[in-house]
Amino acid sequence: MKKTLIKSYAKINLSLNVLKKEKDGFHKIESIVSFLNFYDEIYIQQINKKKHIVKFIGPFSKNLNKKNTISKLLDILDKKIVLKKKYKIQVKKNIPQQSGLGGGSMNAAFLLNYFLKKKIIQLSKKEIFNICNQIGSDVFLGLDRKNLILFNKKSIKKYNVKMALFALLVKPKVGCSTKEIYKRFKFFSKNRIKISSKVFKIQFLKYAKNDLEIPAFKLYPILGKIKIFLSNINKVKFVRMTGSGSVIVAYFSNKKSAINGLKLIKKKFKNHWSIVSKTI
């Protein structure tokens, strides 16, 4: 059968407040979330086999063939006996691992969304959320690729707004451990995100923050150096780490300024991964 391309877009946290530690050991957070026009390429094809075939290629595919979110999702759907056919799935990994861009989580989210939209599977909202939660706490954020505010592990508010921000992404060779960063987190935020589309405007975002930067920069000092450098680039609006890192993002209102920043980064940090993208 014919191959179909599913674009698995990168997720970014424009802000992230850590409010408290829950009884289950996890942290309660609030976050302003968007997506970039930068994605992993998932090619899916129905096959006449007894088992699914899942393969990863591309610059960031190392060690993913053994344990990954795609295989986990397929295993869950098979056990629920809702996926009647078998599929060959090849994923070109363009999104770096341990970057804070939600690459693995979004792979599962966009594939699940494909199965649902094509009516290959039928599930209730509760079943969909439970499946997402089994794979990863942020998987459900990618089911509808809209700008949103995350209030806790179960509550989101979606907005049909377009920011048209150009993003310069920089990642050092180091990858951040979310577990280690939260382990070192000490000071909880008193700030709360307003339930309004206005939070997606630059005037608000430049005063927002990511609480995880403090422990992340202590654990990985290079991240702080990158942020300082990006903050001094001409016409940058604001600079912020996404998620628990290790990608630092500089935001611009026009492409020319972002491209200029990219040239400066490539000159200053020659061994770092860097690209320019745009918010969707």
d(CA 137, CA 47): 31
Q: Is the pTM above the cut of 0.75? A: yes
Altogether, the residues listed in the chain come to a count of 280
On whether the CB atoms of residues 15 and 240 are closer than 8 A, the answer is yes
Neighbouring C-alpha atoms within 13 Å toward the C-beta of 93: 24
d(CA 113, CA 110): 5
On whether the CB atoms of residues 247 and 275 are closer than 8 A, the answer is no
Helices (H), 220-280: 221-231, 255-268
Q: Identify the active-site residue in 138, 171, 211, 227.
A: 138
Determine whether 125 is an active site residue. no
Evaluate if residue 101 carries a pLDDT over 90: yes
Q: Identify the active-site residue in 11, 92, 93, 227.
A: 11
Residue 67: which pLDDT band, with cuts at 50, 70 and 90?
confident
Determine whether 24 is an active site residue. no
Percent of the chain with pLDDT over 90: 89
Domains and CATH numbers, the chain: 4-158 (3.30.230.10), 159-278 (3.30.70.890)
The least confident of 13-27, 80-94, 233-247 is 13-27
Site of tokens 């341990």 = 98
Angle at 208 between CA 206 and CA 210, to 5 degrees: 120
pLDDT digits (tens, 9 = 90+) for 203-231: 999 999 999 999 999 999 999 999 999 99
